[in-house]
Amino acid sequence: MTRRGSLIYYLAAWICGCTFMSVCIWLKDLLGAPLMQAYSMRGAVGLLLFNFYALIFGAASAFLGAFLLRRLARVAHWELAWQWVLAGSILSPALLELLGIWGRQMLAGPGTRLRWLLLITLGPTTVLGAGIWLAIPAGAATAFVLYRIHRAFELLADPALILL
């Protein structure tokens, strides 16, 4: 465990961010499905399977987004939840848009030498195909969770606040 809670912070960014994003995409698809498909077991199994792949292909973008959010919050001296949520709802679609466009270019290109980079860009490319607006609520929810974790460890790391 690190003193500032970095391990918990980045693991929460990965697990919560990918799960929130996969739920947003799954709900979008579920609400557009016929009534019988919406209540079938296939829908729940589909969510679990989609979440599994989201955890694999969304890890790099979740870690990068969490890193950028934390650095931005430290530079701007943000101490309120709404500031983190607003930044997360703006940063998440912007980051996923950039990585998704890069992923589309890599998929269209003939080169096989850098195909391993699809591990970084395939998740954002999927989000781009489903609708980039879905990253707004997922980014806001993830930013709120990360804010709570960051604040909890900031209070523990400050010896003056322990006595209070």
Spatial CA neighbour of 68 closest among 126, 117, 10: 10
User: Tokens 């606040």, residue?
Assistant: 161
Amino acid at 135: A
Question: pLDDT in tens for each of the 164 residues of the chain?
Answer: 466 789 999 999 999 999 999 999 988 887 776 655 555 555 788 888 889 999 999 999 999 999 999 999 999 999 999 999 999 999 999 999 999 999 888 888 776 677 778 888 999 999 999 999 999 999 999 999 999 999 998 876 555 555 44
pTM above 0.95, yes or no: no
